[in-house]
Amino acid sequence: MVLVRREVKGKVYTEPFSKGILSRSLIRAELKPNKAHEISNKIESDLVEKSITTISTNDLVNRIIELLEEENPLIAENYLNWRKIRNSDDPLIILIGGASGVGTSSISYEVSRRLGIKSMISTDMIREVMRKIVSKELSPVIHESSFSSQKGFRVAPPPEFDYVLAGFKDHVGTVSVGIEAVIERALTEGISIIIEGVHLVPGFIRKDLMDKDNVLMFTLTLKDEEMHKSRFYSRCNDGWASRPLKKYLDNFDSIRKTLKYMEDQAKKEGVPIIENVDMVETREFIIKAIAKYYGGLNDVRKD
């Protein structure tokens, strides 16, 4: 049996080499399953042939990278990025915001699948829980949609205010309290989580939370209005979804207005803005940005 020697927080321990575990990690790096199994088998055969009974994690990673670079340098980079993120001692809190229809749910799922993060929640879910706790009489704005929350105003704002944005800010500010509670709990429990949704607006989450290196926010956008509108047709036609298309189309101008506001806030707060035209490119941008917080690409090869 070949053993892999690992060091965690100064303590060294060994575990059996597993082709299955290695194959799954390679698949997460976007290697095709048959090729992942082929490389895993080759590594095991090499170790047995050379009579190696114990190998350090770093030596094993170096051998994996050599084979991946021969196969596809991009896959090798993906694997290194995945390792850097996975090996972090701190929980990773990923916040993916964007107006309705820009694709925050789809991107969050793709990022969670690639990184193996099992916990994912939408801000709509957080809002729904808050609706059960806070009555409509007490906070009517939160019981409206984010893009039409101005309908919940008891007293109309002054004429110089933009009604749509005034309602949106009130709505986001209220839901942000619940978002902060989820972030705090994840940090306390040491649980990595992805939070996605329209209520993740730069500047609304407490600064002490956003200043943490392991809390990262991204804002998705779509410049092309027709493409943005077509996303609503797609999501509302899904058999498993019951989304009212007419409601989104009737409020499309308001949704675009909230999108522009989120972009402005992201620029102001220094949050990355991603044009979400291609899902793969958006996903890889987010993963590479996260990996930068864990040092250079060569760091994982060092003892």
pLDDT of residue 208: 95
Q: Provide the phi-psi class of 98: left if phi over 0, else alpha when psi is between -120 and 50, else beta.
A: left
For Cα atoms 150, 151, 155, give the angle at the middle one, nearest 5 degrees. Answer: 75
Give the C-alpha separation, 16 to 109, whole Å. Answer: 31
Phi, psi angles (nearest 5°) of residue 232: -70, -40
Give the C-alpha separation, 82 to 27, whole Å. Answer: 11
Nearest residue to 148 via CA among 245, 228, 227, 248: 248
pLDDT of residue 86: 72
Domain boundaries, the chain: 3-87, 93-294
pLDDT of residue 156: 60
Residues sharing a CB contact under 8 Å with residue 284, sequence separation 6 or more, in sequence order = 78
For domain 93-294, the CATH class is alpha beta
Can you state the angle between helices 252-269 and 163-189, rounded to 10 degrees?
60
Q: Looking at the chain, list the stretches that DSSP marks H as alpha helix, in order from N- to C-terminal side.
A: 19-28, 33-49, 57-71, 73-86, 104-115, 123-133, 163-189, 207-210, 225-237, 245-250, 252-269, 279-291
Q: For residues 136, 137, 142 and 144, what is the CA-based torsion angle, rounded to 10 degrees?
A: 60
Give the C-alpha separation, 291 to 131, whole Å. Answer: 36
pLDDT of residue 302: 31
Residue ranges in the chain modelled with pLDDT below 70: 6-11, 137-138, 140-161, 236-243, 293-303
pTM of the entire structure? 0.75
Q: Is the dihedral of CA 2, 8, 13, 16 positive or negative?
A: negative
222-228 long-range contacts, CB within 8 A, separation 24+: 222/101, 222/102, 222/103, 222/259, 222/275, 222/276, 222/277, 223/275, 224/277, 225/256, 227/277, 228/101, 228/102, 228/255, 228/256, 228/259
In the chain, what's the furthest Cα-to-Cα distance?
80
pLDDT of residue 157: 60
